[in-house]
Structure 1
Amino acid sequence: MQDMRPDRIGCHRAASFRITNTSINKTNNTATEVDHAMDAALFGWLAGSVGAAVSSAGAAVYGLTVKAQSPRLVPNERQPEVPFESVEWKSGEGTVRGWFVPHSQSGSGSSGLSPTVVVSHGWGSNRSRVLRYVHPLHREGYSVLVYNVRSHGDSDSVKAPSGLLFRDDLQSALRYLEGREDVDKQRIGVLGHSLGGFGAVLALDEGAPIRALVTDSMPVRFATMVEAELRRRKLPAFPLAHIIPEIMVRRSRIPSALVKRANPAAILEDNASGKRVPVMLVHSRGDSIIPPAELNHVLARVPDANHLFVDVDGHSASEQDPAFWPAVTGFFKEYLSIREEAVDKQGDYASV
């Protein structure tokens, strides 16, 4: 029988309260532990999901970078319409292939040799697509060397092409010309279109033996080059234009110091201050691929730079402006010292 004495009743009530409170605390602790476990599980799931998303996004961006660094391979569609030689030489670990279009040596100068102009194409192009420069130059009395940069046309490929290929392959082309007996080594000019011009300016910075340089529609900022390729592939510039360049540099293993120095505007400023190599810069106001702001960027640093804005639409059409050829041939004639009697007026060229 239950003890109903007042003091015992209090003890029972206290014991009952302690038991009840302990049960409540155990329940609360269990709930708290469950809550913590659920939070940890949720956090782990979220972290895993975010990590997977980041990893997936990173893989996607890397894949886009690889594509952006893979110029389209366009076969040579045409050949020169005058006698030429198929030539090749080594550049790095690969072979560069091109055409040498010799000009008559008669009346060319004190050496009896014609001056030579090297024509360098741009990204995703090839030597047949710049025959539009080759034929008019040959008509004016120049021998012309035109070639496919590595990873373009039928030249050998490299794993991670970059703008530096255009510098390196131009330098190898100049070394090739030094080994030819029918070339006046003191009168070699360069005409570079787009990244071909970019590579030529970088070669100037390394003391390449160029007597006169013409660039046409040249990009001078890395971001502009990347954005142009993204537009061609119909991909958004933001944020890819800020991410892809870093991945490109790492894939191509380009030292940071070299990236910093690969600045055509700064190089041209140094070249002008030292009055080393005559340079003429051409750009079309209607160029939607490499905008004319690139030339304005150079002029902001080199206001007196010899330049020509032409008014045609497109990235590869400057030569169609009536002002282009008189300016370009006049420039080369002045600095490569070609004589009027060396100009071949007999060549029969189709419209190019």
Structure 2
Amino acid sequence: MIGVLILLIAVAFLAFSAFVGYKMVKPPRLIGDWTPRDLGYDYEDVTIETEDGIKLSGWWIPNGSDRTVVPLHGYTASRWNDLYIKPTIEFLLREGYNVLVFDFRAHGKSEGKYTTVGDREIADVRAAVRWLREKHPESSSRIGLIGFSMGAMLTIRSLAEIPEVCCGVADSPPMDLDKTGARGLKYFAKLPEWLHIFVKPFTRLFSGGKEVHPIEYADDVRKPLLIIAGEKDPLVTVEEIREFYERNRAVNDDIELWVTDAPHVRTLKFHPGEWKARVGEFLRRCMG
């Protein structure tokens, strides 16, 4: 009887772990009702197809420039994120850049059943850059990225892997997805961090993706990069980001680290003037 009870508990625990893993790779979709027109700019609804056949939904916001910046949202967010994507779009347009913004796979209105939190999403960034170069070559003499959290991870990957991207701002980038994933269980689901070791196999099973650890790209990025880290970030420690900075600085003369007192992806919210000044100066210098 005791053996049967232990077996039932084990089965229930694995079933619960599988459920949590499923929910982690299939986040709720954030879809809002505002558009760039509410910010005073004309725009075009666009569909961007990736190399693996996923159709991404986005906005093209021309602004009469030959330079375009692509904001990249984080896990569970979308282009309708009011915390950092909306003010970033408005900031970039006021700075004079064109903006191309889209929902990552399995987010917003884009296709895709599961997120891989930085693995297959590199194909989404590559597709957006390809779309921009093919559809609007006159607007893409320089292409920059501003990424937040998962989008910051992909900003770092893109600087290493996508030649057309000239520079990037990475705000609150996770460096070790195992560590951030464990903290994320507590942050997003109010579950203990130790559960991650049991949930992780199911996230890989459902999504088909693998963990991406941006720290592994520290020796590969050779382009201008501004990293923003927050001392009150519950998902990523300043020490983890500083390790990337120190390693990358050995091969990249154009990396900057800005440490603030903000929580995860909230420097723009708590220090909007300084964020816009630092990011604006970085983009002007790197985008020309």
**TM-score of the alignment, normalized to the shorter chain, above 0.5:** yes
Whether the aligned pair in 2 keeps the contact of 1:222 and 1:245 (CA below 8 Å) is no
TM-score, normalising length: structure 2: 0.86
CA shift, 1:246, in A, is 2.8
Whether the aligned pair in 2 keeps the contact of 1:193 and 1:217 (CA below 8 Å) is yes
Question: Aligned residue for 2:267?
Answer: 318
CA distance in 1, matches of 2:20, 2:136: 46
Whether the aligned pair in 1 keeps the contact of 2:144 and 2:168 (CA below 8 Å) is yes
CA shift, 1:166, in A, is 3.0
Question: Aligned residue for 2:229?
Answer: 283
CA shift, 1:248, in A, is 1.8
- Which 10-residue stretch deviates more, 96-105 or 289-298? 289-298
Residue 153 of structure 1 pairs with residue 102 of structure 2: no
Question: Aligned residue for 2:129?
Answer: 174
Residue 87 of structure 1 pairs with residue 55 of structure 2: no
CA shift, 1:184, in A, is 4.0
Matched residue SS, 2:268: helix
CA shift, 1:211, in A, is 0.4
CA distance in 1, matches of 2:99, 2:232: 28
CA distance in 2, matches of 1:228, 1:186: 40
Residue 63 of structure 2, aligned match among 96, 103, 122: 103
Residue 50 of structure 1 pairs with residue 2 of structure 2: no
CA distance in 2, matches of 1:168, 1:181: 19
Aligned length: 274
Question: Aligned residue for 2:92?
Answer: 137
Matched residue SS, 2:101: strand
Residue 117 of structure 1 pairs with residue 69 of structure 2: yes
Question: Aligned residue for 1:248?
Answer: 203
CA shift, 1:215, in A, is 0.5
TM-score, normalising length: structure 1: 0.72
Find runs of 4+ consecutive structure 1 residues off by over 6 angstroms: none
CA distance in 2, matches of 1:179, 1:294: 37
Whether the aligned pair in 2 keeps the contact of 1:166 and 1:200 (CA below 8 Å) is no
CA separation of 1:216 and 1:138: change in aligned 2, threshold 3 A? same
* Unpaired segments ≥5 residues, structure 1: 1-44, 106-113, 338-352
Residue 65 of structure 1, aligned match among 8, 21, 44: 21
- Which 10-residue stretch deviates more, 138-147 or 245-254? 245-254
CA shift, 1:170, in A, is 1.0
Residue 76 of structure 1 pairs with residue 32 of structure 2: yes
Whether the aligned pair in 2 keeps the contact of 1:76 and 1:128 (CA below 8 Å) is yes
Whether the aligned pair in 2 keeps the contact of 1:177 and 1:183 (CA below 8 Å) is no
Whether the aligned pair in 2 keeps the contact of 1:85 and 1:101 (CA below 8 Å) is yes
CA RMSD of aligned residues (A): 2.1
Matched residue SS, 1:296: helix
Question: Aligned residue for 1:270?
Answer: 220
CA distance in 2, matches of 1:115, 1:203: 17
CA distance in 2, matches of 1:298, 1:285: 16
Matched residue SS, 2:48: strand
CA separation of 1:316 and 1:79: change in aligned 2, threshold 3 A? farther
Matched residue SS, 1:270: coil
Whether the aligned pair in 2 keeps the contact of 1:269 and 1:302 (CA below 8 Å) is yes
CA separation of 1:203 and 1:302: change in aligned 2, threshold 3 A? closer
CA distance in 2, matches of 1:71, 1:128: 15
CA separation of 1:75 and 1:228: change in aligned 2, threshold 3 A? farther
Whether the aligned pair in 1 keeps the contact of 2:155 and 2:169 (CA below 8 Å) is no
CA shift, 1:135, in A, is 0.9
Matched residue SS, 1:323: helix
Whether the aligned pair in 2 keeps the contact of 1:166 and 1:196 (CA below 8 Å) is no
* Unpaired segments ≥5 residues, structure 2: none
CA distance in 1, matches of 2:14, 2:163: 39
Determine which structure has more spread, i.e. the larger CA radius of gyration. Answer: 1
Matched residue SS, 1:227: helix
